[in-house]
Amino acid sequence: MKALHPARRILCVATVAVVAMAILAGRGAAAEPNDRLLVLDQRAGPYRYLESSTKDCCTAYSDALAAFGAPTHIRRDARTCLVTWRLSGVKVVFAGAPKGCTTGSLRKASWYGLRLFGRGWHDEAGLRIGQTLARVRATYPGARWERKGGPHGQRWLVLQRRVVNGVRFVGLAGQFNPRGRLASIHVPAAYVY
């Protein structure tokens, strides 16, 4: 067998490395880059969370998979399913999974809210994970504390409200860590399940 020229050997090794990296990156990789921008009522990074509600049926979970890849954790939370993508810093709440929080059942579920907790998440107004309470209040001067409104009845700062069919909903909220910094941004659903 004839030996490869050193330059061709390097090219072959480089090609194999690129192909291997592409295969590994494809596993659980997001379809679009995650710019970690929340555009309320439109998208969280590459995830267009309300689009599934305008389609014929239930693509909320499939859309999240396309945006963030394979989830790192799925758990039942009351009557909903909480799905986490730790590296993306996202938790999405799904409602209406007919047979619990299995992958097959989630494919029939609806989007019911999301939580952004990873570094770099921000919104168009300038809200950013890690900001101080004073900075968040400067960005959202009308913000009001709600004692038991957040997940598991925890206290959160309601940044924005909305009214849908005469019912008031929280549109945007934040929770803070013990050091007084914004730890998570919440976008609850504006409907009752």
Residue 52 confidence class, pLDDT cut points 50, 70, 90 = confident
Residue 153: give the domain boundaries.
37-188
The pLDDT of 96-116, averaged and rounded, is: 91
pLDDT value, residue 30 = 44
* The total number of structural domains that make up the chain: 1
Is 51 among the domain residues? Answer: yes
pLDDT value, residue 123 = 98
Q: What is the pTM of this model?
A: 0.80
Give Cα separations from 191 to 32, 51, 52 (angstroms).
28, 15, 15
Is 50 among the domain residues? Answer: yes
Question: 156: domain CATH number?
Answer: 2.60.460
Provide CB contacts within 8 A for 72, sequence distance 6+: 84, 85, 86, 87
DSSP string, 57-116: S--HHHHHHHHH-S-SEEEEETTEEEEEETTTTEEEEEE--BTBS-HHHHTT-EEEEEEE
Is 132 among the domain residues? Answer: yes
Is 153 among the domain residues? Answer: yes
Residue 98 confidence class, pLDDT cut points 50, 70, 90 = confident
pLDDT value, residue 191 = 85
